[in-house]
Amino acid sequence: MTVHIPSLDERAGELAQQHVDTLTKPKNSLGRLEELAVELAKMMGETFPVVSPPGVIVFAADHGVVSEGVSAFPQEVTMQMVRNFLNGGAAINVFSKSIGAKMCVVDIGMAGDIEEEKLINKKIKCGTANFLNESAMSRDEAVKAIETGYQQAEAMIHSGVKCLILGEMGIGNTTASSAVTAALSGISIEKLTGAGTGIEENKREHKKQVIRLALERRKPNAEDPIDVLAKVGGLEICGMTGAMLASAANRTPILVDGFIASTAALAASKISNSVKDYMIMAHRSVEPGHSAILELLGKEPLLDFQMRLGEGSGAAVAFPILQSAVLMLKEMATFESAQVAGQV
């Protein structure tokens, strides 16, 4: 795939930094908040960037590998939770509302169907195949899922969204994420595989063995991220990958959630390395694979709240930090305007 991602606007960053240094505070006293303001200016090409309203897209899909007993929950929970999203009862609904976000839910590959006007139906197929026995999807299906995510993000951005948060719902997706990350990075399954939805230690060992065998059988090409996604990935992971590429192509910051979203971020960076310039990592998940991805991407998260829910929830919780950074730029007085003696 060929995606044009613009370079960061270094001049906008310089102007933002100059303004930050005139604000009524000791230099660098707001620490990383100052750095964030400058990063956002570079991303958006504006000295005084705006990140509101944020947009939240939750991609939902099912995973055939669930039949191997890798999750604490049965597959039907995916559809049940999507109904919960549509009814406004999930964590991401609560947090999205609190930050004034536009939110949508996309069926990109659930095993069943929900007839609901609020649900965006972009189903590629009714869940992936069990990648222990065969590829999760065809290459064409993976590309179509990435393109679908790209299109959904572009639509959200064109509706006026200034910052993108991507979430997911799919029982079994930590298994797929561990497999994708291992294939792309060469990091061992032992270091990447966690409890997911809360499986016990003996089941975690079984989960690792399933992933290990799947990688041996499928032999995904580490140099070809689409091959990796097709063989051991998930449709919602592909959707988020495409959405991140679209966000970067449109100079829109991506506030990246936890392990599943960061797996998509890693895949997106393998398709176009420049997409990393537009990523801000919201938090550090307790899933062990997440810390590995953060290191691979060279990113430091904003928060460490011991979260592992997914849905985009950690990113929505972190969004007010971005809002604080841009409001600091826009609304704080300068030494001159406030008639305060500046630093010598």
Task: Just list the catalytic residues.
Answer: 311
**CB–CB of 125/137 below 8 Å?**
yes
Phi-psi sector, 339: left (phi>0), alpha (psi -120 to 50), beta = left
| Angle in degrees, CA 51, 57, 61, rounded to 5 | 160
Q: 221-230 burial, b if ≥16 CB within 10 A, otherwise e? A: eeebbbbbbb
Angle, helices 235-249/259-271, rounded to nearest 10 degrees: 60
Place of tokens 């991805």: 293
Q: Is 335 exposed, middle or buried (0-12, 13-18, 19+ CB in 10 A)?
A: middle
Residue 158 carries which side chain, given as an amino acid letter?
A: H
Can you tell me the distance from the alpha carbon of 169 to that of 173, in angstroms, rounded to the nearest whole number?
8
Q: Where are the beta strands (DSSP E) in the chain?
A: 54-61, 102-109, 119-121, 163-169, 254-256, 279-281
CA distance 306 to 314: 10
Q: What separation, in Å, do the N-terminal and C-terminal C-alpha atoms of the chain show?
A: 53
Find where tokens 């939110």 sit.
103
Residue 313's identity, in one-letter code, is S
